[in-house]
Structure 1
Amino acid sequence: MAERVPGHSHHHGNVLRRLIDEGFPPAIHHFGLRETGGWDTAEAGTTVRSVGDLALPGWSDEIRDKRVFVSLDVDVLDPAILPGTGTPVVGGLSLQRLCQLLAEIAAKTVPVGIDVVELCPMRDTTGASEHVVIEALLCFLAVYFRTHGTPIAPVGKKLI
């Protein structure tokens, strides 16, 4: 969410900031942040919830029944579980907890898509990181299909 990453106005650390500057999307909710590096996430009009906030009942109420695009930044996981990330930060979620959170999002919202960012397989020679990401995506998709019963992107249907 940084306005600028030193020396760069377009960088992987400020994609959401550029979207806000252009007027999309109407709302951004960050869940699971452990550090923002002093970035102006809240000042940009976004909702920010820390990893600790996700333990509180009702954390997902603000997105209930809303159309959401889920961007899974895998460094939310502890690097002991997923070492293959570009920006590892100790104290992250377990895979079990991430699956619970993704399941809640899949069940309580109207997902229009999902992506994965910050996976860096070259930092994990065991290949475990890729398997962890696949498991997390399967958790999300299993609940999505059980709850909604339709593909995420129905052919010919406008999503946004």
Structure 2
Amino acid sequence: MNLLTGVESADLFGGEAPAGLQHLIDAARGTPRAEAGAALWTAVLIAPQSLPLYYLLYKFHASRGELGQAHEVARKALAVAARQASIDLDWRSVQPGDADFMTTGPARFWLFTLKALAFISVRQGERAIALELVNKLRTIDTGDRIGFGVVEALLAQSQSQK
């Protein structure tokens, strides 16, 4: 369960990873960083339509401060989820009625990944893009069920530190 949103992880991350790739996910746990990254990248290359694998990979890079790589993976994940949800590939063009963003599936994963991109942007010091992403999240998720308020708080904190 995601502690910030109270939602089951599979609901946010687009389901379960393919069972045949579980050995790669397991290999990524508790191994040296280079090996873990290689295992996750291999899994994504084998199953490029598997949304949970993208989540694991962008989370892996973000947790290690590899924000450029996390950003790259999250953007790829956003594109895959957009295709699967049949929404516009340009996140700026997506509107609330384009998909059901609150039920399990690619649209919800897309929304969660948009939040991840906003978080990564804040950490990279890209306030303008982070704000734009948060505004899109606010437009689509008016009740903040995905938890973008956390990113808003980080934005506010980074502004007050200037």
TM > 0.5: no
TM range (shorter): 0.3 to 0.5
Output the TM-score relative to the length of structure 1. Answer: 0.33
Structure with larger RCO (C-alpha < 8 A, sep 6+): 2
Determine which structure has the larger strand proportion and give its number.
1
Output the TM-score relative to the length of structure 2. Answer: 0.32
